[in-house]
Chains A and B, each alone.
Chain A
Amino acid sequence: MIDARHLTKVFHDKKRGEIRAVDDVSFRCEPGRIYGLLGANGAGKTTTLRLLATLLKPTAGDATVAGFGVATAPERVRASLGFLAASTALYGRLTARETIAYFGQLNGMDDALIAARTKLLADELEMHDFLDRRVDKFSTGMKQKTSIARTLIHDPAVLIFDEPTLGLDVMAARTIVRFVRDCRARGKTVIYSTHIMSEVEKLCDAIGIIHDGRLLATGTLEELRIAYAESDLEEIFVKVVTGAGKAAA
């Protein structure tokens, strides 16, 4: 489970001055549910997720991931989560198997366990043909599967996806979407960031619309539809970010 309380991140940029990339963001995500973080470019999605993954330290606020505080136990937080982003690339000179094993080792797993998990994941993801080939010779789809396997090797309770379908074709994107659903079915806590409305509609149990670092609207798709008197998520999104306000208010 993920619990973010008043998360705030301020960057100091020489040219742009102070940037409040994440501003007082609070939300919860329960096991067996997918929380969708919807926002435009530069809205603060990646920064929020990096705060949860302890890659960045919050300027203010706090969060717990699987019961561990991001500030107090960052290494245990990372041991409990799998982080997959468009920007998390693989080591090109390692084979898929070596890549998966490396992350297994860093998660404190022993060789027998790593071998067993690798076999299981390779079965599920149909990776056996290229398991012992070098990653830099892979197609995008093969890389994507390898990334999923290295994210899941330690069977984490929490999964964080940051625009995982970015740059993928329809088939590869469907693999991801199916796999995210599988995670939910296994009782994982999933957080999924994107700017693609249809993915949110298909996947997410709860939605948070983020704009300029602020979480402007949260709720299930149904709750948002009622609150903004729109059935189309895109229309809701535009209303939220332009500040058109709730229909009922």
Chain B
Amino acid sequence: MKTRDIFTVYFKELRDTLRDRRTIITMFVLPTILMPTLIFGFGFIASKVVRQARAETPTIMILGAASSSAVRSALEAHPRIRVVPAADDYRTRISDKTLRAAVELPDDFDAALARGEPAQVRIYYYEGELKSGFAAGELDRFFRDYREKTLQARLDSRGLPATLLRPFDVTRQNVAPPEKVGGNLIGGFIPYIIILLCFTGAMYPAMDLTAGEKERGTMETILCSPVGRTELLLGKFLMVLTGSLSTVVLAGVSSAITIPLGGLLFSRGGGAAAAASAAASGGTMPLIDPLGLLACFVMVLPVAVLFAAAIFTLALFAKSYKEAQSTVSPLIVVVILPALAAMLPGVELNAKLALVPLLNVSLVCKELVSGVFQWDLLALIFGSTCVYAAGALALAVRMFNREDVIFRT
């Protein structure tokens, strides 16, 4: 094996690739802007929508309660809702979003309460509509308070203590460290993104250096130079690996910069309301164990080799770039499925799953970002992935030496 030749090929391919606009965009530009776009774009829109919805005082309608001025005036005095005159078309107006919610009370609501008789309160709203939901929530809270007060008054009038109806209190206390909470929220998502980027980063150079070369007629030119087939393959393979890893690293660096920045921006810029709304929309900036994140990248190394070799082998069979695209693209499903499966709640890492390619890395990365290091499983996963990667690379070498693959007609 001539190492010099491998690097000659590698540096030539690197130079060639760096001059290809299509590959540059998928390898460098997309991964760099992906995370910032997701974080700022999504975070910005989500917090803006929620903030707007919160800022608005919802209009509501009171139906019935004709002879119940007490509850009526309490509602009208409530600062966070605005009462409009009742009308029969309240349902259509809620659907049309000109009215956020309506509340229906019996005409003699006040009197029924005074007599201690049960009364029905019905809230009309539009399920799934954010602002309508807020209005309904506001009404809900108002009537719960109102009920509490009524209850308190009744107990007081009979000289009974409040604990009669509330014999004990239940609260839940979280004992997981904060990073574990953060890790679980976003932990499944990070390995998914890393693995996906690993794949897309390898995809374009792998297709370009195989099927693309066949299509352009340069494959035959290079094959009749003295360079050995294996050296040629390894040089090309290193380029594909570079594509895969640079994609991941660029995405990693750009997210490392934008995630804290995004957290700062959305929590400070919008004040407490924005922070609360971000929490409501599930957009909390998670606490990720930085050492674990680094370990994730190490665990992903053999995955990158596996992808590079696998895509390379597949694309080698194609006669043109287009054909390569149609054979390689479906592979993305094979990549996404195990990574998605790792996000399912309840899928826990064990020795058996540690041997399932991709799923094992996805699962262990989820643990790693939350700061959990299970060394024996880590070794098992790294080792088994290395074995799969070596197998894929050996297959690539074999296929590259087969003339019916290279000269397929």
Residues of A within 8 A of B (CB): 11-13, 50, 53-57, 75-76, 78-79, 81, 83, 85, 87-94, 98, 102-103, 105-108, 134, 150
Contact = CB atoms under 8 A, between A and B. Distances in A.
Nearest to A107: B226
Contacts of B150: none
Contacts of A13: 409
B228 interface: yes
B8 A106 contact: yes
24 contacts: A13-B409, A50-B407, A54-B224, A55-B224, A55-B407, A56-B403, A57-B403, A87-B217, A87-B220, A88-B218, A88-B221, A88-B224, A89-B220, A89-B221, A91-B218, A93-B15, A93-B16, A93-B19, A94-B15, A94-B16, A105-B8, A106-B226, A106-B227, A134-B19
Contacts of A87: 217, 220
Contact of B226 (A78, A94, A102, A134): A78
B171 interface: no
Contacts of A92: 216
Top 10 A-B residue pairs of the complex, sorted by shortest distance between their CB atoms? A89-B217, A79-B226, A83-B224, A88-B221, A93-B19, A78-B226, A106-B225, A106-B227, A105-B8, A53-B224
Nearest to B20: A93
B16 A55 contact: no
A178 B224 CA distance: 23
A107 B224 contact: no
Interface in B202-251: 216-218, 220-221, 223-228
A56 B377 CA distance: 46
Interface string B375-409: 00000000000000000000000000001100101
B87 to A, nearest CB: 71
B193 to A, nearest CB: 30
B321 to A, nearest CB: 13
Interface in B1-37: 5, 8-9, 12, 15-16, 19-20
Interface of B: 5, 8-9, 12, 15-16, 19-20, 216-218, 220-221, 223-228, 403-404, 407, 409
A134 B16 CA distance: 11
B5 A106 contact: yes
A150 B12 CA distance: 15
A249 B225 CA distance: 45
Contacts of A94: 12, 15-16
A98 B15 contact: yes
Contacts of B20: 93
Given A78-B226, A94-B15, A106-B227, A85 B8 contact: no
Given A89-B216, A92-B216, A106-B8, A55 B226 contact: no
Contacts of A85: 220
A13 B408 CA distance: 10
Contacts of B409: 13
A107 B216 contact: no
B403 A90 contact: no
Given A89-B216, A91-B16, 13 more contacts: A55-B223, A75-B228, A78-B226, A85-B220, A87-B217, A88-B221, A89-B217, A90-B221, A93-B15, A94-B15, A103-B225, A106-B9, A106-B225
Contacts of B403: 55-57
A102 B223 contact: no
A91 B13 CA distance: 10
A98 B221 CA distance: 15
Nearest to A160: B224
Contacts of A75: 226-228
B241 to A, nearest CB: 20
A190 B32 CA distance: 53
Nearest to B215: A89
Contacts of B16: 91, 93-94
B330 to A, nearest CB: 22
B209 to A, nearest CB: 11
Nearest to B222: A106
A55 B223 CA distance: 7
Contacts of A88: 217-218, 220-221, 224
B365 to A, nearest CB: 36
B319 to A, nearest CB: 13
Nearest to B8: A105
Nearest to A12: B404
Contacts of B226: 75-76, 78-79, 106-108
Contacts of A11: 404
Nearest to B228: A75
B228 to A, nearest CB: 6
Given A55-B407, A56-B407, A91-B16, A102 B220 contact: no
A11, A88, A90: which has the most chain B beta carbons within 10 Å?
A88
A78 B216 contact: no
A104 to B, nearest CB: 10
Contacts of B224: 53-55, 78, 81, 83, 88
Nearest to A83: B224
Contacts of B404: 11-12
Contacts of A78: 224-226
A106 B20 CA distance: 23
B220 A55 contact: yes
A90 B16 CA distance: 12
A79 B216 CA distance: 23
B44 to A, nearest CB: 39
A98 B14 CA distance: 13
B173 to A, nearest CB: 62
A107 B225 contact: yes
A106 to B, nearest CB: 5
Contacts of A54: 224
Nearest to B401: A57
Nearest to A94: B16
B5 A89 contact: no
A197 B354 CA distance: 67
Contacts of A76: 226
